[in-house]
Copies of this chain bind each other. A is one copy, B any other.
Amino acid sequence: MKRKNIVTIGGGTGSFMLLSGLKNYPVNISAIVSMADDGGSTGVLRDELGVLPPGDVRQCLIALSNSSDIMRQLMSYRFGGNRLKGHSFGNLLLSALEKIKGNFVDGVEEAAKILQVKGEVIPVTEDQMRLVIKLKNGRMLKGEAHLDHSKEMRRVGVADIYLESKVGANRRAVGRIKKADLIIIGPGDYYGSTLPNLLVKEISDAVRKSRAKVIYVCNLTNKKGQTDGFSLERYISEIEKFIGCDRINFVVFNGKKPRRDFIKRYESQEGKGAVVEFKDRKRSRRYRVIVADLLSSIQGERKDTSVNVHTLIRHDSDKLARVIMTIAEWEDGRSLIREIL
């Protein structure tokens, strides 16, 4: 059987989790990654060295890496001290390789070799990409970092999101979407990771035109000021607005209820409806919703060896990958899915 070509579209911890699971299957993986990050270590490197943002790419490289544990640990290691504080080693690696090779994409390719990466990690653009966040009171905030830090945004809410100026898509990203059997959008920060990719016009055009099955992996939780009380249905309609048509074929949704105390903690921080709901199960719909137990069983907060995970309610990468692979093999009649709504 021909290996499936799977394209993921995202960035950050969401892609890390998805790719960590998919890596173990015999498929061709192309991870398209947002380049909008401008906070933290990544932001400092963008400003001071004039490099492209390494943070999201780093996480995807680690997820797909087959190198030693120590190498993966190293990539996520964050320095202390004064001037180095907060820089992750992997970000410095990517920035140094960008400088040595002369451009970010070739630098990422070298890093992928060093890290023995399965598949490929593709920055969505080679241009400098800046988000502009329009708040509901009309104020404009420049820079993705505001999504993490702006108190005004949390209070007022995001109305819309743009790119500061048009950016061209990485040619390889467009090529991989064209040849994809499966395109997976999400999970991950809606404004911070998912949408920045779709704001690149050639990317959303390519998704719209592709003949691949498009899967949307819905987030588990919402963010105050950003996706307050979003339901599954709302996410889909919003994302399809950015794609430009009804394009999603499958939706993967977690059907297992998180622990009650975890839900409470999220609601105290992110407001009512902090856990994403699937509202109307009875309605007929264009897309298939796969409801499955996707929850990580690791209880409480932990510091993952590869990526910092502070969330209590999170996806399990193995479970998610198994469901994705079932969808990938749908036409081969290998479905193991029990509940299809």
| A interface list, Cβ under 8 A from B | 44-45, 48-49, 68, 70-71, 73-74, 77, 79-84, 87, 89, 92-93, 95-97, 99-101, 110, 113-114
Contact = CB atoms under 8 A, between A and B. Distances in A.
A110 B69 CA distance: 11
A44 B83 contact: yes
A89 B84 contact: no
A80 B48 CA distance: 8
Contact of A74 (B44, B70, B74, B96): B96
A80 B81 CA distance: 18
Q: Please state the number of chain copies in the assembly.
A: 2
Contact of A79 (B49, B73, B110): B49
Contacts of A87: 84
B100 A73 contact: yes
Given A49-B84, A71-B114, A79 B100 contact: no
Main secondary structure of the interface of A (DSSP, over half): helix
B96 A77 contact: yes
Contacts of A110: 70
A77 B48 CA distance: 16
Contact of A96 (B45, B79, B99): B79
Nearest to A83: B83
A80 B98 CA distance: 13
Contacts of A68: 113
Contacts of A79: 49, 92, 95-96
